[in-house]
Amino acid sequence: MLTKLENRFNIIFIKLIGACNLLPIQVRDTEEETISTPSPNITNCEPPNPEDSPTDNITTKKFRKVAQKSIQITLQTSKWRIWMWKLFFGTYILQGIYINARLAQSILFEKKWNINHLAVHLLWVLYAFVLQSWSYFSFVKWPQYSVGIFNELIRKLPVERVGQGRKWFQLNKQELMAKYIGLNTYSAIIPMMTLLAWDDTRIQLFYSALPPEWKSRTTFLVCLVPEGVCVIHFFTIAFFIFSLHLMFFEMVNGELKSVGAAVTSRSSKNEFTIRDALMTCKTVREMQLLIQLFNQSNCFIIFTYKIMGIVASIIGGFFAIRYTYSDPLLGVVCMVIALDSVSFFPLTYERAFLIPDHMRRLKDQLRIVTQKHTSQALRALEVAKIIHSVPKVGVKIGNFHTMKRETTPVFIHYIVYQLASLLVAF
């Protein structure tokens, strides 16, 4: 899991988003006291909680409280900022209605038909619908869930001591994506705006609705401003959701693995007590509730993201293969979109299906180690009941499917099969 220092770029982007009112949140700096790791040069001092560690035949080390800087986000309370965000959100809704109406017009009327513009128009409609739904689910329907989960993730980020940073090649794929998701997301604004500004005859632009006598280079640039605002909003909500999901899966998997390793280590030394088992049950319960909270507010987001990945991969792959020779720019753009769409979903949710396995393994470990405490049978029975009451939870895709190990192969197989069928048919 990324540390606070490794996650500094994302924290900077979150602060800029709050300052620019791109999302209805306000960001404030906080300081929290954490326990530092033991210093190797100082011994013969007590740890913070002597009751939880054996005191016979060991040398204890000093723990120090350190104030660590962090951030916390809350929902926006300033009235003028709330109205400004509502104005932005209304602009996004109007743009979605407009581009859908223009798409229907281009399909129904031959004079408006342009096959070279169809790919970008279809993808633009798809992205607008999906990302606007993400804004609705995250900050209109369940805003408290989104803010609460994000603050919990920031709070649980481990603290990195100076000189102990990891190189980029020491990070796993998800950590690498999470670390640079802000840079990668916002850097895509430049090619997207270049693509829109390259051809002022695109029917999905606001500029195309102006009367001929009003059209000029100046009015085109003016009409491009709301387009740019919508693009920035789309990439902002995409950055927030992607960073939230990547950090969430890393945090939950890392927490369950570390707790399981601690149980195994202490039980092998006969140091794992019933009290430790009850504290571990509390951690398992917290993880279960956090996963259920995440599913409540994000299951439909994951479902729409999967649909977006499938449709964008098929559309982008078809136009990249069919029209690269006649329109190289369109072919390159569609190829990049297709490759990104088919790879981002598996990479983002690759570790999501591991959560049920780690949860089940930790529950089995607790059942085994508590059976050894025959002298405390009643408390061991209490632990067993708590463990049994924790349901099997996983990351949901909509309300009807839980992410499993075969989700990624099925996803890729469906895209390849449908793309091949479309190329044969047309």
pLDDT digit string (tens) for the chain, length 426 residues? 788 888 888 888 999 998 888 888 888 887 665 554 443 333 333 344 444 444 333 334 444 545 556 788 888 778 888 888 888 888 889 988 999 999 998 888 888 888 878 888 898 899 999 999 999 999 989 899 999 999 988 888 887 654 566 787 788 888 888 888 888 888 888 888 887 888 888 888 888 888 888 888 899 989 888 888 888 988 999 999 999 999 999 999 888 888 888 888 888 888 888 888 888 888 889 999 999 999 998 999 999 999 999 999 999 999 988 888 888 878 888 888 888 888 888 888 888 888 888 888 888 888 888 887 777 778 788 888 888 888 888 888 888 788 888 888 888 888 989 888 888 887
Return the pLDDT at 33.
54
* Distance between CA atoms of residues 202 and 190, nearest Å: 18
* Distance between CA atoms of residues 102 and 98, nearest Å: 6
Return the pLDDT at 134.
93
Cα–Cα distances (Å) from 110 to 100, 123, 153, 382, in that order, read 17, 20, 52, 72
Return the pLDDT at 55.
38
Return the pLDDT at 38.
44
What residue segments make up the domains of the chain, in order of their start?
82-157+204-425
Return the pLDDT at 373.
75
* Distance between CA atoms of residues 103 and 9, nearest Å: 38
Return the pLDDT at 111.
82
Return the pLDDT at 34.
52
Q: How many helices (H) and strands (E) does the chain have?
A: 13, 2
Specify whether the CB–CB gap between 241 and 301 falls below 8 A.
Answer: yes
How many CB atoms sit inside 10 A of residue 13's CB? 20
Indicate the pTM of the whole model: 0.84
| SS3 of residue 98 by DSSP | helix
Alpha-carbon 380 to chain mean position? 38
Q: Which of 331, 260, 252 is nearest to 294 (CA)?
A: 252
